[in-house]
Amino acid sequence: MSFLDELGSFLGSANNRSQILGDLLEHCYLALVPLVAGVVIAIALCWLGRTWRPMRGVLLAVANVVYTIPSLALFVVIPSVIGTKILDSINVVVALTLYTSALLIRPTLDALEAVPQQVIASATAMGYRPARRFFAVELPLAVPVLTAGVRVASVSNISLVSVGALIGVGGLGVLFTDGFQREYFSPIVVGIVLTLVLALVVDLLLVLLRRILTPWERASASARRAVPA
Amino acid sequence: MGAGIGFRSKGGARMISEIGDWFSDPANWRGAGGVPVRLIEHCAYVGIALVLAAIIAIPLGLFVGHTGRGATLLVGSGNAIRALPTLGLVTFLFLLIPKSTAAAIIGLVVLAIPPILAGTYAGLQAVDNDVVDAAEGMGMRGMQRLWQVEVPISLPLLLGGIRNAVLQLVATAAVAAYVGLGGLGRFLLDGLAILDYGEVAAGAVLTTALAIVLDVVLALAQRLLTPRGVRIAVKARRPAAKEVAA
Amino acid sequence: MTNRNRNRNRIGMALLAFVMLLTACGNPLEGGAEGSAGGAGGDIVIGASDVGESLLLAEIYAGALRNAGADNVTVRPPVGGREVVVQALRDHSLTLVPDYSGNLLRYFDDDNEATTPENVYAELRKVLPEQFEVLDQAPAQNTDVLVVRKDLAGEGVRTISDLAPRCDRLTFGGPGQWAERWKARIKELYGCEFAAITVTDTGGPVTVAALRSGEVQVADLFSTSATIGANGFVPLDDDKNMFPAQNIVPLVAKGALSEREAGALNALSAVLTTDKLTQLNVQYSEQKRNPLDIAEDFLRANGLG
């Protein structure tokens, strides 16, 4: 059978198709929940890091160490630490949340520290208290850099979820283990293609999200265009 | 899916004692499946893949960074490769080339190329145009400029790229144990198959320790190999807001 | 609206959209067998170990149970070796698994010497702990088997006894635990001591590739595996009965199945022969059919569907 024939018969089975769809949706979930959680945690930690100076160094150091831990090692160690059973999908979610947070700490800190002093000063002058100022001024200005970090994290997460198949967690990784066990190319190819497509789609959505959240960039860009350079 | 299956988590003390037991068992230090051999295997895979990836990625990055040609293609394909799922890549390669080590190393090389490429390219990008102009003004030609000015300045970022690549390699080599590769991943997967918690945790500890050690060594190298002038310049530049290339 | 309110609205909308995206993906963590699976009439969760055939059998069991009227039957994807699944049965994350009589006996009673199908089954029923029960065993067996390539077989090696004098010049490839389990026994029974024992995998592609390429000259595979025939390997006869009988038998968390459900599985086991099982494996690993499709066809062909 040529490869295309094999692919045809693989996708031709309704049972196969519904399994692939299920795997895809689960993969989606396992990659995106940590992304959102990671962003929230990174922002919260950075806010703390800016309020208490000594925490900043600790934060960067810990983030560095966490990010260094190899993926499979983290997946198998987390259950003992948080008390779940080893083959539970929550382990993957927790592990990826840790990675995402660790990855985002540095860019978030940099972004927050890059907000010009004048802007903060004027916000305070306008009567913003620190918390309000954080959410209404500093965070929105940090969005571009944050999004860049989140895009990197999303690609990483989507790729790492597959490794979860080695500890029995679903997602597209199941296609790889199945294909490997049976010397069957089709599921592997389908799995790789779907992973890439998913990464692309999520990336585009994030770019879109950034556009929505930073209307001033569009405004200033069009203003610049209106005035002859 | 529900609550998963598998052995219950152990209390912290018991966990540590199981790891301790595993490490103190001399049988785990002997022979082809012992810690020293697996450690060396792992380092070998990482080393070989790193060298091969660097041979491909650094010249490519230098070319694109120096001449400015093909930048979008570079960044685009780098991102695409980063999105490749590790497990998918190594299983695919194994089916093509049914030799565990060969298939795994090719996969490792492919995955190590984007970080090194990105680091090299970013490094060259970080060279101020003024510096390049000054060098030209001093009479340096293309190759001279590249090697005497641009490369030294871009060294920190290039080494940063290598650091990332090494981390990626250590992690991926562990995953590649699935297609039969040796190295520290064997403890993780073989232990998991029979629920030998001591072995699994030992594998996790060893792999993490290796990653941390290599990272620290490379961080030091990054510090030491950065020309003093660059260190000063970078410090001076830090307060300015710089957007990370999206 | 002031600018800052507009921003807040934007962020809010964006977050809402994202959350909706997430819920569209579905939460795989809810609606599963939380803790207790089983109890007559409850959810039935069938497990499979990572040997391909195990998944096939699990799907066939699932099909038989559904045809017998059970309505919430799921099959979990393969997650690991026997240790994993037995543990899961104990804590009711799983209801039943297809298993092999000999391995199961040895798991619960390390030193048991039984080797024939009847003895193994009888002993198994005796040593099985309280929380488990086994249903009827099938005539089908899937035992460990040592295989060699045609060239070695051509030199007159047809049984393990034939292999024994050459062992010290040969490299063996098999699962990680093989040495621990059989190295002493094969030496004691056959006088065979391999020059080297390599860990490949549990009868999977790495082992097959290693034997094909000559990296190992003797491999441990499973007797119903389609790869033996497909690669022209020659299985060696276990003339001194080192490997015990391995009849397919459902291992069940006690009391988890109703009489009718158990009856359905017994009817299924009665028609499962070694030949039929090998054929199923051929469909799975050579023809690459979907396990659900294979199960459906099998049940129908045998009057159980």
A208-227 tens-digit pLDDT: 999 988 888 777 666 666 65
Mean pLDDT of A137-151: 88
Q: Which of B5, B98, B100 comes nearest C87 by C-beta?
A: B5
Chain A closest-CA separation from residue C76 CA (Å): 9
Tell me which of C222 and A226 has the higher pLDDT.
C222
Chain Cα centroid distance, residue C30: 27
> Could you give the C-alpha distances from C31 to A171, C34, C79, in angstroms and in order?
17, 8, 19
Report the pLDDT value the prediction gives residue B6, as an integer from 0 to 100: 42
Work out the minimum CA distance from C175 to partner chain B, whole angstroms.
9
Retrieve residue C100's tokens: 């092999």
Classified as helix, coil or strand, C247 is strand
Residue A146, both tokens: 């944050």
Task: Tell me how far apart the alpha carbons of residues C72 and A161 are, in angstroms, rounded to a whole number.
Answer: 28
Helix (H) or strand (E) run with residue C189 in it? helix C178-190
Distance CA A1, CA A5 (A): 6
Query: Residue B225: which pLDDT band, with cuts at 50, 70 and 90?
Result: confident
Q: Please report the ipTM that was assigned to this predicted complex.
A: 0.86
Q: How far apart are CA A78 and CA C188, in angstroms?
A: 43
Look at residue B11 and tell me whether its pLDDT is greater than 80: no
pLDDT in tens, B200-216: 899 999 999 999 999 99
Helical residues (DSSP H) of chain B, grouped into ranges:
12-24, 35-67, 71-82, 86-96, 100-125, 129-137, 142-145, 151-175, 185-193, 197-225, 228-237
Neighbors of chain C with 3 or more C-beta pairs under 8 Å: A, B
pLDDT for residue C32: 34
pTM: 0.84
The alpha carbon dihedral of C284, C181, B181, A198 has a sign of: positive
Cβ of C93 and B1 within 8 Å? no
CA separation, residue C280 to residues A225, C56, C75, C98, C232 (Å): 68, 8, 18, 15, 18
Which tokens hold the place of C157? 């090696």
The answer to whether residue B2 scores a pLDDT higher than 50 is no
Report the half-sphere exposure of C277 (CA within 13 A, side-chain side): 28
Chain A interface test: which of C282, C288, C296 (most A C-beta within 10 Å): C288
Select from C89, C93, C197, C215 the residue whose CB has the most chain B CBs within 10 Å, as the one to mutate to test that interface. C93
B104-146: pLDDT as tens digits:
999 999 999 999 998 998 888 888 788 888 888 888 887 777 7
| Cα A42 from Cα A215, distance rounded (Å) | 23
Q: How confident is the model at residue B8 (pLDDT cuts 50, 70, 90)?
A: very low
Question: How far does C269 lie from chain B, in Å, by closest CA?
Answer: 26
The values of phi and psi at residue C98, to 5°, are -80, 135
Contacts of C83 in chain B (CB under 8 A): 194-195
Residues 6+ apart with CB under 8 A from B205: A73, B19
Q: Chain A residues with CB inside 8 Å of B4's CB?
A: 84-91, 168-169
Indicate the SS3 state at residue C77. Answer: coil
Angstrom distance (rounded) from CA C122 to CA C198: 35
Six token digits for residue B113? 């190329």
Give the 3-state secondary structure of residue C146: strand
For the stretch A7-18, what's the b/e string if a residue is b when 16 or more beta carbons lie within 10 angstroms of its beta carbon? bebbeeeebbee
Q: Kindly report the CA angle at C75 between C71 and C77, in degrees rounded to 5?
A: 160
User: In this complex, is the C-beta atom of A90 within 8 Å of any C-beta atom belonging to chain C?
Assistant: yes
Is residue C176 over pLDDT 90? no
3-state secondary structure chain A: CCHHHHHHHHHHCHHHHHHHHHHHHHHHHHHHHHHHHHHHHHHHHHHHHHHCHHHHHHHHHHHHHHHHCCHHHHHHHHHHHHCCCCCCHHHHHHHHHHHHHHHHHHHHHHHHHCCCHHHHHHHHHCCCCHHHHHHHHHHHHHHHHHHHHHHHHHHHHHHHHHHHHHHCCCCCHHHHHHHHHHCCHHHHHHHHHHHHHHHHHHHHHHHHHHHHHCHHHHHHHHHHHHCCC
Q: Look at the block and give the residue holding tokens 């099909």.
A: C63
Distance separating alpha carbons of residues A216 and C10, to the nearest angstrom: 13
pLDDT: is C252 or B68 the higher one?
C252
**pLDDT of res. B7:** 45
C204 confidence band (pLDDT: 50, 70, 90): confident
DSSP C209: H
Q: CA-to-CA distance for A176 and A165, rounded, in angstroms?
A: 8
Of the partner residues C35, C47, C177, the one whose CB lies closest to the CB of residue B194: C177
Average pLDDT of the segment spanning A5-32: 92
Report the C-alpha gap between C225 and C17 in whole angstroms. 49
CA distance C262 to C64: 10
Which amino acid would we find at residue A41?
I
* B155 touching chain A per CB within 8 A: no
Residues of B with CB under 8 A from a CB of C: 1-8, 33, 94-95, 98-100, 179-180, 186, 190, 192-195
pLDDT above 70 coverage of chain B, percent:
87
Residue listed under structure tokens 């571009």: A144
pLDDT class of C7 with cuts at 50, 70, 90? low
E strands, C42-170, in order: 44-46, 73-75, 96-100, 132-134, 144-148
Residue pair B71/A174 in contact by the 8 Å Cβ criterion: no
Residue A127 Rama label (left phi>0; alpha psi -120 to 50; beta): left
**Contact present, C88 and C47 (Cβ < 8 Å):** yes
Per the CB < 8 Å rule, is A29 touching C18? no
| Whether C32 and B98 lie within 8 Å, measured CB to CB | no
Asked whether the beta carbons of residue B88 and residue A195 sit closer than 8 angstroms, the reply is yes
Cβ proximity of A176 and B85 under 8 Å: yes
In the sheet where C73-75 sits, what is the strand order?
A: C73-75, C44-46, C96-100, C248-253, C132-134
Q: C205 vs B94: CB contact, 8 Å cut-off?
A: yes
Between CA B31 and CA B38 the distance in angstroms is 10
Distance in angstroms (rounded) separating the CA atoms of residues C15 and B238: 32
Please identify among residues 120-179 of chain A the ones whose CB lies closer than 8 Å to any CB of chain C.
135-136, 140, 167-168, 170, 174, 177
pLDDT value at position A169?
Answer: 83
Across chain B, what does the average pLDDT equal? 83
Confidence tier at B190 by pLDDT (50, 70, 90): confident
Strands C96-100 and C234-235: unpaired
Higher pLDDT among residues C12 and C282, named by residue: C282
What token pair was written down for B203? 């594998």
Determine contact, residues A162/B107, Cβ cutoff 8 Å. Answer: no
What pLDDT sits at residue B217? 94
Taking the Cβ of residue B189 and every Cβ of chain A, the question of whether any pair is shorter than 8 Å is answered with yes
> Which of C293, C12, C65, C7 minimizes the C-alpha distance to A14?
C293
pLDDT digits (tens, 9 = 90+) for A52-62: 888 888 899 99
Number of CB atoms found within 10 A of residue C159's CB: 15
Q: Give the three-class secondary structure for C235.
A: strand
Question: Which backbone phi and psi does A85 adopt, to 5 degrees?
Answer: -80, 155
Asked whether the beta carbons of residue B179 and residue A180 sit closer than 8 angstroms, the reply is: yes
Residue A24, both tokens: 């895809």
How many C-alpha atoms does A182 have within 13 Å on its Cβ side? 26
Q: Which residues are CB-neighbours of C144 under 8 A, at least 6 positions away?
A: C220, C221, C222, C223, C243, C246
